[in-house]
Chains A and B, each alone.
Chain A
Amino acid sequence: MAGATARTLFDKVWDAHAILTREDGQSLLLIDRHFFHEGSHHAFNQLKARGAAVAQPSQNIGVADHYVPTRGRGGAIADASIGHMVRQLSENAARHGIRLFGLDNPDQGIVHVVGPEQGLTLPGLTIVCGDSHTSTHGAFGTIAFGIGASEVAHVLMTQTLWQRRPGRMRVTVEGRPGPGIGAKDIALSIIARIGADGAQGHAVEYAGSAIRGLSIEGRMTLCNLSIESGARCGMVAPDGMTLDYLRGRPFAPQGTAFDRAAEAWLALPGDPSATFDREVAMDAAEIAPIVTWGVSPEDALPITATLPDPERITDPARAAQVRDGLDYMGLRPGQRLTEIAVDRVFIGSCTNSRIEDLRAAAAVLAGRRARIPGLVSPGSTPVKRQAEEEGLDRIFREAGLEWVEAGCSMCVGMNGDLLAPGERCASTTNRNFRGRQGKGSRTHLMSPAMAAAAAVTGHLADVRPLLAGRA
């Protein structure tokens, strides 16, 4: 292999986990952390069918998030099938002696919020979960990706996974983003540029001054959306900010053990002469607040734009996609994005539910009233407590939005937090697929600040004027 001595961040983490590599290119990787949620029942049933045990129970962590109710906690779950899903998770964790952040745990939350918050996510690890947004954990310089139920069963039984080494791709964003522009705007701009399959078969490393300038939470939002460009995983090299975030977290090493680990972590960034199979470069100064208009995350445009006209698109497949998207979303070619009236707002999900996301939304909502109903679901119970200490819950409530408990909630609607058919939602989530937030629902993806702007105006809106004169 050319340049075998100069390695990227991805190479270093991969090489440290390859137990063996076959001639056909498949490597058996050690998996450091496996997170699982209520959807793991298919995998646990596979174990049961084989009469198999969990190989390394302590390296597996259960988290209740996909089906948990966001209201009326503490009592019995009203919906029997949802109650069954949450109970089944607890039973499977207990049967195999696995640590669980269950519904009643004071640290419960969305798996991709809980892992980093608890210091379970550390640089240089391999992390998998039966959830495609596992890419979130790459913000710490981990190889983290979503897997299916058969692979979940494989990890439970062996603590390993067979993988082919993906291609290496670097997305470099240089410069300073303008005011009101966040990690979500950068991420959606990348997806709009390269496409929903633009990074397929590749491990993406995000680099450049605009990325280094993002907070750890911003890096999580960015890496979270890697899967929406089809990437195997997304990564940011660990640095001083990463260490500052992790120091003192419950499951991170403590004291001198932390210092020893930190030394290893700071050796993870790629060698300067390491090369990538693909390079994409973007200028942060050109990134505007961005929203999606169609039914794929690649259908994203700056808020100042107008909707595309399929009649003017020469590629018939692309024209068909635009026509279908506009039709499903109930929109007209040439319409201004800011003319689109919204029925509801949702602030939450593994993409944008951390404390900085809630602060960004609250900065827009403070002293203002929402014109439409909405739901704010913090990413974890600790995030909820912190937001309440900071008085953010009061700002949301006074604006007329509902402040609820932590979970995946209206991102995927499995717990019953759903839009009605035809309803249009300004959402801080990750997927604008048809029916994602409920049968017939229409989703526009955007940052928390932009969702707050939609709430106070009642339509898709540029948040920048609303931030004028505010900190």
Chain B
Amino acid sequence: MQPFGILAAAACPLPLANLDTDQLIPARFMSRPRSAGYGDFLLHDLRRGADGALRPDFPLNRPERAGAAILVARRNFGSGSSREAAAYALLDGGIRCVLAPSFGDIFASNAVNNGLLPARLAEEQVETLLAWLEEGGREVTVDLLACSVAAGSHRWGFAIDPVWRTKLLNGWSDVDLTLSHAAEIEAFMAADRSARPWAWLDGAAGD
């Protein structure tokens, strides 16, 4: 996983609340292997008209947002389905960071597990940032070390779970860390088998 440090990039406003993961990637694209690339599916049905052509008025399709690596959206971004493909579509579509007042829990966790930063700004700050972008603002700097966002003359601190921050800064995945606790896990499971035999399906239950 690619570590996240400081990102200075074009930002794109998406002034929508409750932007659910069905919008980030419609279900019909999720049977493909990740290696095939998910970028073309990002916000597919919002970005495209009925004929499949890109809608010129959709923010992400506007020429001034070309190369955007940061999205700015309203509350409850990534709510809904647990599909990690939503994070794949964002990353493969070039997005490394989403700034919003709040995120769906499962989406945020999936984002972090893939090196995508879900950074929380206050609702008023998001509204200010959306307005700044609409007025011609373009590049935003997101600094994960300082937990800060800079846009023009605006400077704000953003919120992120400190554990997620460490994971993102280092590009860590959890599995190796977990496996380093193998002895504790094994001991816990052994004790649990006698305390709660019904919880274990290879035991006597179900016969």
Interface residues of A (CB under 8 A from B): 16, 19-20, 24-26, 28, 30, 32, 38-39, 41-42, 45, 50, 52, 56, 58-59, 67, 81-82, 84-85, 99, 119-120, 122, 124-125, 130-132, 145-151, 153-154, 157-160, 162, 164, 196-197, 200-201, 227, 230, 232, 250-254, 257-258, 261, 264, 295-296, 298, 317-318, 320-321, 324, 412-414, 421, 431, 433-436, 439-440
- Tell whether B53 is near chain A: CB-to-CB under 8 Å: no
* B78-119 at interface with A (beta carbon < 8 Å): 79-85, 87, 102, 104-107, 109-110, 113-114
A251, B110: Cα distance in complex, Å: 32
Q: Is the CB of B205 within 8 A of A251?
A: yes
Most buried by B among A124, A154, A200, A298: A200
A431 CB contact (under 8 Å) in B22, B127, B175: B22
Interface members, chain B 152-207 (any A CB < 8 Å): 161-163, 166, 173-175, 177-179, 181, 184-185, 188-189, 192, 196-202, 204-207
Closest B residue to A414 by beta carbon equals B27
Does B26 count as interface, using CB distance less than 8 angstroms? yes
Chain B nearest CB, measured from A167 CB (Å): 11
Q: Which residues of chain B in 101-142 are interfacial with respect to chain A, using CB atoms and an 8 Å cutoff?
A: 102, 104-107, 109-110, 113-114, 127
Q: Can you identify 17 A-B contacts, CB atoms within 8 angstroms?
A: A42-B84, A45-B33, A59-B200, A59-B201, A125-B199, A146-B106, A154-B174, A201-B105, A230-B79, A254-B206, A257-B205, A258-B198, A295-B18, A431-B22, A434-B22, A435-B23, A439-B45
Structural contact, A28 and B178, CB atoms closer than 8 A: yes
**0/1 per residue, B14-33, Cβ < 8 Å to A?**
01111010110011101101
Known contacts A24-B162, A196-B76: A250-B127 contact under CB 8 Å: no
Q: What CA separation (Å) do A250 and B201 show in the bound complex?
A: 11
Most chain B CB within a 10 A radius of its CB, from A120, A132, A151? A132
Cβ A58 vs Cβ B202 within 8 A: yes
Q: Are B105 and A20 in contact (CB under 8 A)?
A: no
CA distance in complex: A147, B83 (Å)? 8
Residue pair B184, A20 in contact (C-beta under 8 Å): yes
In whole angstroms, how far apart are the Cα atoms of A84 and B31 in the complex? 9
Instruction: Please determine whether B204 and A257 come into contact, CB atoms closer than 8 angstroms.
Output: yes
| Interchain nearest-CB distance for B199 vs A (Å) | 5
Given contacts A58-B200, A434-B23, contact A324 B175 (CB under 8 A): no
B34: interface (CB < 8 Å): yes
Q: When A39-B83, A122-B198, A250-B206 are in contact, do A154 and B105 touch as well, CB less than 8 Å?
A: no
Which chain B positions have C-beta within 8 A of A145? 106
A154's contact among B27, B106, B175, B181, by CB below 8 Å, is which? B175
Complex Cα spacing A318 to B16, Å: 10
Closest to B127 in A: A317
Closest 8 pairs (CB-CB, A-B): A148-B110, A148-B84, A146-B82, A150-B113, A58-B202, A149-B84, A197-B76, A253-B198
B196 and A264 form a contact (CB under 8 A): yes
A434 to B113, CA, bound (A): 27
Tally inter-chain residue pairs, CB-CB below 8 A.
Answer: 197
Contact between A253 and B205 (Cβ–Cβ < 8 Å)?
A: yes
Q: Does B50 contact A (CB under 8 A)?
A: yes
Q: Is the CB of B188 within 8 A of A30?
A: yes
Q: Are A160 and B163 in contact (CB under 8 A)?
A: no
Contact of A158 with B205 at beta-carbon distance under 8 Å, contacts A30-B188, A130-B82, A132-B106 already known: no
Query: A24 to B163, Cβ gap below 8 A?
Result: yes
- Let me know if B197 and A257 touch, CB within 8 A: yes
Query: Chain A contacts of B50 at CB under 8 A?
Result: 421, 440
Q: Beyond A200-B105, A230-B79, is A162–B196 a contact (Cβ under 8 Å)? A: no
The residue in B28, B80, B173 that gathers the most chain A C-beta atoms within 10 A of its C-beta is B80
CA distance A131 to B21 in the complex (A): 12
Chain A residues in 8 Å Cβ range of B84? 42, 130, 148-150
Contact A25 B184 (CB under 8 A): no
Given contacts A32-B199, A160-B185, A251-B206, contact A85 B31 (CB under 8 A): yes
Task: Tell me if B30 and A317 are in contact (CB < 8 A).
Answer: no
| Option from A30, A261, A434 in Cβ contact (under 8 Å) with B198 | A261
Contacts of A440 in B (CB 8 A): 50
The residue that A30 contacts in the complex, of B17, B127, B189, with Cβ under 8 A, is B189
Complex alpha-carbon distance, A264 and B75, angstroms:
41
Is there contact, CB below 8 Å, between A131 and B185?
no
When distances are taken between beta carbons in the complex, the residues of chain B under 8 Å from A38 are 31
Which among A157, A197, A436 is the interface contact of B175 at CB below 8 angstroms? A157
Smallest beta-carbon distance A133→chain B, Å:
9
A19, A41, A318: residue with the most chain B Cβ atoms closer than 10 Å: A19
A438 (CB) vs chain B CBs: closest residue: B28
Which of B20, B33, B114 has the most A CB atoms < 10 Å from its CB? B20
**Bound complex: CA A251 to CA B203 (Å):** 11
Contact across chains for B106 and A42 when beta carbons are under 8 A apart: no
A45, A149, A254, A436: residue with the most chain B Cβ atoms closer than 10 Å: A149
Chain B's nearest CB lies how many Å from the CB of A229?
10
Chain B residue at smallest Cβ distance from A153: B175
CB distance from B28 to the nearest CB of A (A): 7
Q: Is the CB of A196 within 8 A of B18?
A: yes
B82 touches A131 (CB 8 A): yes
Minimum Cβ distance to chain A for residue B143 (Å): 21
Is the Cβ of A230 less than 8 Å from the Cβ of B17? no
Q: With A and B bound together, what is the CA distance between A146 and B104 in angstroms?
A: 11
| CB–CB B82/A150 < 8 A | no
Is there an interface contact between B163 and A148, defined as CB atoms closer than 8 Å? Answer: no
Give min CB distance, B207 to chain A, whole Å: 7
Residue pair B201, A251 in contact (C-beta under 8 Å): yes
**A435 & B45 in contact (Cβ 8 Å cutoff):** yes
B26 contact set on A, CB distance < 8 A: 435, 439
Task: Write out the residue numbers on chain B whose beta carbons fall within 8 Å of the beta carbon of A28.
Answer: 178, 181, 185
Residue numbers in B under 8 Å from A413 (CB-CB): 27-28
Min CB distance, B84 to chain A, in Å?
4
